[in-house]
Structure 1
Amino acid sequence: MAGDAVVTVRLVRSFQHRNFKPVVFHQVDLDQTVQDFIQLVRDDITTRAGLPPPFKKHSYGTYTNELVMSLDDDEKLILQNGQTLRAAGVTNETEVAFFKKEDYGLYKANPKSAW
């Protein structure tokens, strides 16, 4: 049913430092488009209590169903604008990563972690 899904969004601030924060969204409509959900998340995180300012101000924009961040199969894993969440494979209790595409590209070119 529309609006009944729970989706956890991992806000990825840094791939290299493995800096991320999970945020849970309730009553998600899986029939909304990926870009509508991106906008919903962007609007929500700017005012969400308890979320540190660096996570609120980061310029996210890309989703993937792959949480471990496989560096292969981008075409399959990165959610495409124009798709509904359901068509992209998002279901109830799915976890997705939300990140800046440029950061991902830099990490993919040199996938080394810094501790």
Structure 2
Amino acid sequence: MAGGAVVTVRLVRSFEQRNYKPVVFHGVSLEQTVQNFIRFVRDDIATRPGLPPPFKKYAYDTMKIIHQPHGAKTNELVMSLEDDDKLILQDNQTLNAAGVANETELAFFRREDYGKYKANPQTAW
């Protein structure tokens, strides 16, 4: 695809608080590795204007596909807790091989937080 893909990355700060911010990236090469894309996103959000500081400085380390174009959306408010083995992106894969396509939506979060939330999926209000 000429010009690269449009990928939305949902920065998940807290699963319990449902605290997240979507950030849209244009011109994403789907041939780059997941590891390179994670590095790129971290560098971008660290300097992105308009993003609150807690989102900029958070120790995100894992990406998971939330939604693919023309697919069914999850009814989980932050992201689905299902199919981690298929939907969590592996560092050494290309985005394309991991299942990322144009207009895919990804969650970017800290794996430790996700593990805790998944063990006890309660939301705090």
Identity %: 71
Question: Which residue pairs with 2:20 in the alignment?
Answer: 20
Q: What does residue 91 of structure 2 align with?
A: 81
Aligned equivalents of 2:99, 2:60: Cα separation in 1? 20
Q: Which residue pairs with 1:93 in the alignment?
A: 103
Q: What is the CA–CA distance in structure 1 between the aligned matches of 2:116 and 2:2, rounded to whole Å? A: 37
Q: In the alignment, residue 10 of structure 1 is paired with which amino acid? A: R
Structure 1 residue 70 displacement after superposition: 2.2
Counterpart amino acid of residue 124 in structure 2: A
Give 1:1-115 correspondences, 5 Å limit. 1=1, 3-66=3-66, 68=76, 69-115=79-125
- Where structure 2 has 5 or more consecutive residues not aligned to the other structure, the ranges are 68-75
Alpha carbons of structure 1 residues 28 and 61: separation in structure 2 relative to 1, 3 Å: same
Cα distance change, pair 74–47 in 1 and its aligned pair in 2 (3 A): same
**What is the RMSD computed on CA atoms of the aligned residues?**
1.2
Structure 1 residue 72: deviation in Å? 2.5
CA distance in 1, matches of 2:92, 2:42: 18
Gaps of 5+ in 1: none
1 CA distance for matches of 2:11 and 2:3? 21
TM-score, normalization: structure 1?
0.95
Structure 1 stretches of at least 4 aligned residues deviating more than 4 Å after TM superposition = none
TM-score, length-scaled by structure 2: 0.88
